Amino acid sequence: MSALSLAHEPVTGIRHGKLGMWIFLASEVMFFSGFFTAFIILRNANLSVFAHGATELNWPLAALNTVNLIVSSLTMAMSILSLENGDKGKFQLYLGITFLCACGFLVIKYIEYTTKFSHGIYPGTSSFFGLYFTMTGFHAIHVIGGMIPIGWMLAKSFTKRGYADTGRVEILGLYWHFVDLVWIFLFPVLYLIF
Amino acid sequence: MFDFSWNMLSYFPPGISTYSEAHDDLFALVYWVSVGIFMLVQIVLVTFIFKYRHRPGHKSYHYHGNNVVEFTWTLAPTILFAGLGLYSDEMWKIMKYSSRIPTPDVEIDVVGQAFNWHARYPGADGILGKRHARYRTATNLFGIDPTDARGKDDIVLTGEFNLPVNKNVVVHLSSVDVLHSYFLPNFRIKQDAVPGSWIDVWFNGTKTGKYELACAELCGSGHYAMRAVLNMQADADFAKWMDAKNAAKKIILDAEAANPKPVEAAAAPAPAAHGEGGHH
Amino acid sequence: MEAAVLTHEHGHAVAHAADHTHEHHEPSFIRKYLFSTDHKTIAKQFLTTSMFFLLVGGAFALFIRWQLAYPGEPIPIIGSWLPDSLVSNGAIQPGFYTQLVTMHATVMIFFVIIPMATGAFANFCIPLMIGTDDMAMPIVNMMSFWLVPVAGLTIMAGFFVEGGTAAAGWTNYPPLSASGMGHTLWVIGVFLVGFSSILGGMNYVTTVLNKRAKGMRMFDMPMTVWALFITAILQTLGTPVLAADAVLLFVDQVFHAGIFIPENLLTPNGGLFPNGANVGTGGGGQPVLWQHLFWFYSHPAVYIMILPIMGVVSDVLATFARKPIYGYKAMVFAIMAIAFLGFVVWGHHMFLSGMSPLLGTTFMLSTIVIAVPSSIKIFNWLGTIWRGDIHFTTPNLNALGFISTFVCGGLSGVFMAIGPIDVYIHDTYFIVAHIHYVLFGGALFGIFAGIYYWFPKMFGKMYNESMGKFHFVTTFITFNLCFFPMHMIGVGGHMRRIHDPYVYEFLKPFQPINQFITIFAILLGFAQLILIFNLIWSVKFGRPAPRNPWRANTLEWAAPAHPGHGNFDRDITVYRGPYEFASPESKRDYLPQWIRPAHVEQETVAKH
Amino acid sequence: MAAGHSAGEMQKAYIKIFSALMVFTLLTIVAAKFVHFPESWGSLSTVLHVTIGLLIAVAKAWMVVYVFMHIKFDNPYIRVFIYVPLFLFAVLVFALTVLGGPTL
């Protein structure tokens, strides 16, 4: 039985997880496409409401978060590179920075949300804020979803056995860059242009 | 057991609008094309099933197909169906393009409300007053602008409407709560009433009589009973009916003018017939 | 806690294994049947779950039919068991009726046909037919299944909340669906089942691309795998849009943001609809936006339900006509064309929605073009049985029945594609007839064909052939007598989703037809018990199946009669296409994909 | 690791992209918040703001995908997973805005 050679190299030469992640990301693009389409249609129908809504948002905080995510993207890419070079210390350092950036992102998001609530602004305030909370909320869920495996890999790398699955870190990297990518669009669309 | 006919076309309710005949002809065309293809495929299928059934010693023909044949039976349906589509586009334009709506002889507003149809006639001045959603209340379903004098004499009716025959009728259609669909089977008309927008529907009825107006979009538990009656009248009869309505409205308006307390207009909607509980 | 239970059960299983002198290390019951990562077990889980939901959805349908035939009369037997909130004196109340039509469609689409086609068949067939041991991501696969019962329970829980379950039709159009706990549960359930679909889809695409057996090119794959592969692409790209739509509706339901709800709407009580738009700063929401996003998924979903079935039918027909598929590549390209066009035709569900008529013209033309690849498939199936050697086994009967009914369903679709005709037949029983000809006559007959065809491999037993044939014949006859007359009352203007049609004068003459339909609907429903009995009986008492009972060519028949974990007991290399029936190279009338050319030569007859 | 590229090269590429992303972020803020078009331009000014903002966002996204997500170095086959959903998104938006806009 064990002599069977059914399990062979991936036909496409791309690891299952990576291929699966790309398909998942394609799916994610469609998910956010739904939100962006709704945003475009409702914005065109209610220009003044959306313009007014955007002025209520705190764009400097969002800009800070943009920088936050760009830095985390860089460190994520560097951490993969370090792991491929076998540099465990640098891997931990870069992945650690990525994790911290993600935490920082969530803290800033928390400040933004609570400020809105204290001003009496909720998702039900208008269709603009309905979309704002939905889109940034789902983005934040994606950030949390990325932090779990980042944290796990980081913790694992401090154990005796360490962590050396570069393939998995690369897959995680793809996901993390996608999260950055969504924010790259959310930032101007929600905060800047109207 | 019942009146049964193989001819599906015989089930149509009598058509009485200017384009119902053209509509039914288009339907008949698609129907006979479909019946032709359907019979062809079924006959071929049954023939093959019978002719090529398994018998001992019989071996099938090892054959993978032929590109010329594939090309032919790709091209033929493409021409057929694309032709059908292009041909029908004219009918679509007549029914739906607002640029193709003829000059209206009669213009009314219609709104759906779970589970009733309401119509607004222009009243004595022959002009519908301005309306906007922000004026809408449970007693002012059309959102008639109270500041517009032309709207004062507008007449609102529920459940039963009269319209003249051989006139271009344009209905401005909307809804005050959920989606409804304005379905006049005899006129071959159906259009969703969408809350938040006004959609124009037009028809020209050619026969007098009482016809049914149905709601075709699920709008709650009372949806099934969201029925109204459309009374198509000869010109003179319609004018007489309209005059009577205008006179009645004038009495109310006069009383309102004399009495500082506003008299509840006859326009207030009747309580929904089947609306108990209704919406979840 | 979970882990504790697992180890506990595990210990038991090991003890049992020792008792029964099992040779191999036997996984615990939970690992083996509940949280298994084996694709065949997951396929069986999908199959049993959707069979269960088939009965539930079927029961709902019979309630609906009873009301249409005998409005106001108590439902026989069951009527007295139902609570007074749903029935009065045993007769269905209008509110309950709208819940029934909603739940019938929701259950049948999201919990029967989609899980059956893309859950049971995809899971069972893909790894076996491409000659591999399991899916690319077995744990993702397991999650994909377990989301389905969770979603099902979420939606079913609606029956027990205040106001009842969702009652706005399976399309759940707002503003009607924008309030009420039942609708919120519906939205959550659909989100979950959509997530299951996405996870399944990414797994199937990866598996097909990455795990094909040695020597198997894409164009060596059986039609079933091709169809499932393209379907999986539709699932991964279409479903997230529905998920986004569901999230936005949820935001409207819970926070009243006014995304789909325009300004100043009235509730049925005459008050203002709770809505961000009403507080002055808000904008007007757009009910039609929901429809666009919904149909952007749900039109491709129609193909998610039918494409896998087309693949299954192609395989079954080729096997039992003992003949290669006619125009294999044309069939593959037709599937691709259907999938592509499926994404650009959603608007034909919305001819009456008040969208721009220019968009109507566009969608009318794109929709009508989709008839072309569908007819290519029909012609190729006819070409496949042409000069064949047709064996009338139960799977083949169902496949032939599929062609017969699918032609009807496809042609009635042309009526809907043409805008001006759709204006009249939209939301009438003509549509109901069409959807049942496509999804019952099409998808379900194909599913039956597939269940019978792969039953021997799935359970290692043969099903009972006479019972199978009896099931087909009764189903085929009652199906047609039940659904064909719906076209006629549809042309007569009979609206769908109405609790009592006879409040309308022009529908009163149709009551006898409705009674006729109901009688055959009941017979059709009970005919399905034959299938269920046959399956259960055969799993227990069926005759053991041989390895390749149908003398078929595809790789699943190279596996042992009842394959265990890992599927195959021999190395699999593919040497030729999947449909080499009656090949002159071989003495036998079939030539499996896995037979070495050297081995074939030993039995080759002299070439002429 | 991307075949044929040394770690040093990759690191340089990452830093370059990172700097470009930072500059573009600054640019988008300046364009949106500190560049004002004349009042007389009316709605054209909004259109310009939206266009500039989206163009910068697309450029940034492209850089992330191309270098950080290794599209530049990886199997070209993976690009399908980007193009197909973008095409579908375009279809959706085109239908709803361009075709769905006019009432005829």
Contact criterion met (CB below 8 Å) for C154 and C189: yes
Cα separation of C501 and C114, whole Å?
31
Task: State the average pLDDT for chain C.
Answer: 89
CATH number at residue C456: 1.20.210.10
CA distance D39 to chain A (A): 15
Contacts of D104 in chain B (CB under 8 A): 93, 97-99
Contact criterion met (CB below 8 Å) for C405 and B13: no
Nearest partner of C113 among C518, C442, C343, judged by Cα: C442
Nearest partner of C167 among C268, C250, C94, judged by Cα: C94
Q: Chain D residue with minimal CA distance to A44?
A: D97
C490-503 burial, b if ≥16 CB within 10 A, otherwise e? bbbbbbbbbbbbbb
Contacts of A64 in chain D (CB under 8 A): none
Contact criterion met (CB below 8 Å) for A58 and A121: no
Contacts of C296 in chain D (CB under 8 A): 92
Chain B: touching chains (3 or more CB pairs < 8 Å): C, D
Domain assignment present for C564 = no
Interface contact C388-B176, CB threshold 8 A: no
Cα separation of C535 and C517, whole Å?
28
**Any idea which of A55-69, B136-150, C140-154, C270-284 has the lowest mean pLDDT?**
C270-284
D63-76 burial, b if ≥16 CB within 10 A, otherwise e? bbbebbbbbeeeee
On the question of a cis peptide bond just before residue C27, with omega within 30 degrees of 0, the verdict is: no
| Range B218-225 average pLDDT | 93
**Any idea which of B4-8, B118-122, C373-377 has the lowest mean pLDDT?**
B4-8
pLDDT of C466 > 70? The answer is: yes
Domain assignment present for A5 = no
Domain assignment present for A6 = no
- Token pair 């470009």 is found at D20
CATH number at residue A66: 1.20.120.80
Burial class of residue C189 (count of CB atoms within 10 Å of its CB; 0-12, 13-18, 19+)? buried
Does residue B153 share a domain with residue B83? no
Write the Ramachandran bin of C551: left for phi over 0, alpha for psi from -120 to 50, otherwise beta: left
Chain C: touching chains (3 or more CB pairs < 8 Å): A, B, D
Ordered strands of the B228-233 beta sheet = B160-164, B228-233, B209-215, B180-184, B189-193
Q: Chain C residue with minimal CA distance to D83?
A: C237
Q: Which domain holds residue B212?
A: 104-258
pLDDT of C355 > 70? The answer is: yes
Q: What is the pLDDT of residues C431-451, one digit of tens each?
A: 999 999 999 989 999 999 999
| Range A62-78 average pLDDT | 95
Burial class of residue C19 (count of CB atoms within 10 Å of its CB; 0-12, 13-18, 19+)? exposed
pLDDT of D10 > 60? The answer is: yes
Tell me what pLDDT residue B279 has.
Answer: 35
Which residues does D68 contact at the CB level (< 8 Å), separation at least 6?
Answer: A73, A74, A76, A77, A173, A177, A180, D14, D17
Contacts of B220 in chain C (CB under 8 A): 98, 167, 176, 268
Domain assignment present for A4 = no
Q: What is the pLDDT of residues C105-130, one digit of tens each?
A: 999 999 999 999 999 999 999 999 99
Contact criterion met (CB below 8 Å) for C363 and C345: yes
ipTM above 0.85, yes or no: yes
Give the relative orientation of helices C371-385 and B20-51 as an angle to the nearest 10 degrees: 20
Confidence of residue B268 (pLDDT cuts 50, 70, 90): very low
| Range C132-139 average pLDDT | 93
Contact criterion met (CB below 8 Å) for A68 and A179: no
Domain assignment present for B137 = yes
Tell me what pLDDT residue B265 has.
Answer: 46
Q: Chain C residue with minimal CA distance to A4?
A: C571
Burial class of residue A60 (count of CB atoms within 10 Å of its CB; 0-12, 13-18, 19+)? exposed
Does residue B166 share a domain with residue B35? no
Cα separation of C234 and C342, whole Å?
9
Residue B209 β-bridge partners = B232
Domain assignment present for A108 = yes
Q: What is the pLDDT of residues D41-59, one digit of tens each?
A: 878 888 899 999 999 999 9
Q: Which domain holds residue C449?
A: 36-558
Does residue B32 share a domain with residue B121? no
Mind giving me the DSSP string for C451-512?
A: HHHHHHHHHSB---HHHHHHHHHHHHHHHHHHHHHHHHHHHTT-BSS-S-GGGSGGGGGGHH
Tell me what pLDDT residue B53 has.
Answer: 94
Residues 92..151 of A with a Cβ closer than 8 Å to C: which? Answer: 122-131, 133-134, 138
Nearest partner of C152 among C45, C38, C275, judged by Cα: C45
Q: Which domain holds residue A151?
A: 16-192
Tallying the residues shown for chain D, one arrives at: 104
Asked if the C-beta of C560 comes within 8 angstroms of chain A's C-beta atoms, the answer is no
Does residue B124 share a domain with residue B37? no
Nearest partner of C126 among C231, C232, C227, C225, judged by Cα: C225
Which among C213, C236, C258 has the least Cβ separation from residue A27? C236
Cα separation of A190 and A40, whole Å?
11
Contact criterion met (CB below 8 Å) for C65 and C521: yes
Domain assignment present for B142 = yes
Confidence of residue B205 (pLDDT cuts 50, 70, 90): very high
CATH number at residue B134: 2.60.40.420
Confidence of residue A4 (pLDDT cuts 50, 70, 90): low
3-state secondary structure of A173: helix
Contact criterion met (CB below 8 Å) for A182 and A142: yes
How many angstroms separate the Cα of C166 from the Cα of each of B214, C52, C103, C189? Answer: 23, 20, 7, 11
Among C317-321, C562-566, D92-96, top mean pLDDT goes to C317-321
Nearest partner of B194 among B271, B133, B138, B137, judged by Cα: B133
Asked if the C-beta of C290 comes within 8 angstroms of chain D's C-beta atoms, the answer is no
Domain assignment present for C589 = no
Q: Where are the domains of chain D?
A: 7-75
3-state helix, strand, coil in chain A (%, to 5): 80, 0, 20
Domain assignment present for B148 = yes
**Number of folded domains in chain A?**
1
Cα separation of C444 and C113, whole Å?
7
Cα separation of C113 and C142, whole Å?
19
**Single-letter amino acid code for the residue at A29:** V
Does residue B141 share a domain with residue B46? no
Confidence of residue B263 (pLDDT cuts 50, 70, 90): very low
Tell me what pLDDT residue D6 has.
Answer: 80
Does residue B75 share a domain with residue B18? yes
Cα separation of A138 and A158, whole Å?
31
Cα separation of C380 and C372, whole Å?
12
**Number of folded domains in chain C?**
1
**Number of folded domains in chain B?**
2
Chain A: touching chains (3 or more CB pairs < 8 Å): C, D
Percent of chain B, pLDDT > 90?
Answer: 69
Does residue B113 share a domain with residue B88? no
3-state secondary structure of B263: coil
Ordered strands of the B116-121 beta sheet = B155-158, B116-121, B106-113, B169-175, B199-203
Tell me what pLDDT residue B132 has.
Answer: 86
